[in-house]
Amino acid sequence: MLYCSTGVRKIQPQDYDVFLGMDVDKRSIVCLQIDHLGIEHSVRIPYDAAKMLYYLGHRLKNQRVALVYEAGPTGFGLADTLLAAGYPCMVVNAAQVPTERGKRVRTNRLDARKLAYQLRGGNLHGILVPGEIYRHLREYVTLRKMHVTDSTKCKQRIKALFLRYGFPWPDPRESGTWSKALIRQLTDYECAPALHFKLQSLVASLAFSRSQALTAQQDMRRFVEATPELAESVRYAMSIPGIGWIVATYAIARLGDWRELRTSDQTASFMGLVQTEDSTGDTNSRGSITKAGDPVLRSLMIEASWTAIRKDHELAAFYERIKKTHAKDKASQIAIVAVARKVATRLHCVLKERRVYQVKIVSSVP
């Protein structure tokens, strides 16, 4: 089992003879190789890591080869195989690959050629390729999130049906918000046959989604508890005020191996919680947050921050201080995002330093 992230983050072009850009899809791998003299050669190989190794071993034998491809739906299996065979393979984020503006023609070969030239120029930065346990944790958190999203959509459709036909909604004071009592009332609701059939179908879909989300969460908890490294990381993350089990597991799944974490600023940037900046000369211009990375993780961090300011006096004071410096219509939103960045910094520290977070006790004595 792989307990650490793999992958090449940066290469020195002078250390290699041939640079190979790969455009990977579910059927084939389009490869374009280029050397320091600018000599190009392209080939299409069936999507098979073993055939890719055969090509490298026979056509590029005794040459120092660097490879790159964009992260996509085919995952990291190709990179795993190439790295295990000793070939430096970089996986890059497609959005961060430099591209010429105005290009209207795009083919697999041209995409592979662009990657090869950028690799030869040393312009590419590889992403972290998560280890096996982190990939499996990602499957769990995305599966649970999918069922939770389906459940939310079912609720919206049920409410839309009531609104469309002017049906009175059951009193939440008697039945509770989406409680068992409310579900029973919806199941027994009297209306036209067609509407009754649709309502029952939506209620059944809601019950199924909630059941599947719970099952996924239970199995994910067993997986985390059975993996010491994950269990330890979750415990450290949950020691931070505001971060619960769901937020902790999702964040760890997305951040990956704690050994590969660099700085707290990079962690906040990965979550899209840093400000955009357009500064030149003596002019400093900063705007809203970048919103880069996973929007679900960023949303969870902001949601956790609302809980954090109710539990941590230091964060509450920071929130109020930021809030006072902005216009009232945006003050609370800007302040809570600033708190989310602080929470992200704390998360980075406890994971990197492998310790429980200690809440500062604010003395009431002046």
pLDDT tens track for 304-344: 999 999 999 999 999 999 999 999 999 999 999 999 999 99
Same domain, 192 and 203: yes
Residue 363 lies in a domain: no
Same domain, 280 and 334: yes
Same domain, 46 and 71: yes
Query: What is the per-residue pLDDT for 257?
Result: 92
Domain boundary pick from 166, 197, 226 = 226
Same domain, 247 and 209: no
Same domain, 221 and 245: no
Domain that holds residue 141: 132-226
Residue 6 lies in a domain: no
Query: What is the per-residue pLDDT for 359?
Result: 80
Residues 187-242 have pLDDT tens digits of: 999 999 999 999 999 999 999 999 999 999 999 999 999 999 999 999 999 999 99
Same domain, 190 and 218: yes
| Three-class SS of the chain | CCCCCECCCCCCHHHCCEEEEEEECCCEEEEEEEECCCCEEEEEEECCHHHHHHHHHHHCCCCCEEEEEECCCCCCHHHHHHHHCCCCEEEECHHHCCCCCCCCCCCHHHHHHHHHHHHHCCCCCCCCECCHHHHHHHHHHHHHHHHHHHHHHHHHHHHHHHHHHCCCCCCHHHHCCCCHHHHHHHHCCCCCHHHHHHHHHHHHHHHHHHHHHHHHHHHHHHHHHCCHHHHHHHHHHHCCCCCCHHHHHHHHHHHCCHHHCCCHHHHHHHCCCCEEECCECCECCEEEECCCCCHHHHHHHHHHHHHHHHHCHHHHHHHHHHHHCCCHHHHHHHHHHHHHHHHHHHHHHHHHHCCCCCCCCCCCCC
Residues 134-155 have pLDDT tens digits of: 999 999 999 999 999 999 999 9
Domain boundary pick from 87, 120, 153 = 120
Query: What is the per-residue pLDDT for 161?
Result: 96
Same domain, 175 and 191: yes
**pLDDT score of 293 more than 50:** yes
Residue 126 lies in a domain: no
CATH number at residue 34: 3.30.420.10
Q: How confident is the model at residue 281 (pLDDT cuts 50, 70, 90)?
A: low
Same domain, 142 and 109: no
Domain boundary pick from 184, 210, 226 = 226
Same domain, 268 and 252: yes
Residue 324 lies in a domain: yes
Mean pLDDT of the chain: 91
**More confident: 318 or 172:** 318
Query: What is the per-residue pLDDT for 99?
Result: 86
Query: What is the per-residue pLDDT for 46?
Result: 95
**pLDDT score of 262 more than 50:** yes
Residue 4 lies in a domain: no
Residue 2 lies in a domain: no
**More confident: 284 or 74:** 74
Same domain, 283 and 246: yes
Same domain, 219 and 236: no
Same domain, 242 and 323: yes
Q: How many domains does the chain have?
A: 3
Query: What is the per-residue pLDDT for 175?
Result: 59
Residues 333-355 have pLDDT tens digits of: 999 999 999 999 999 999 999 99
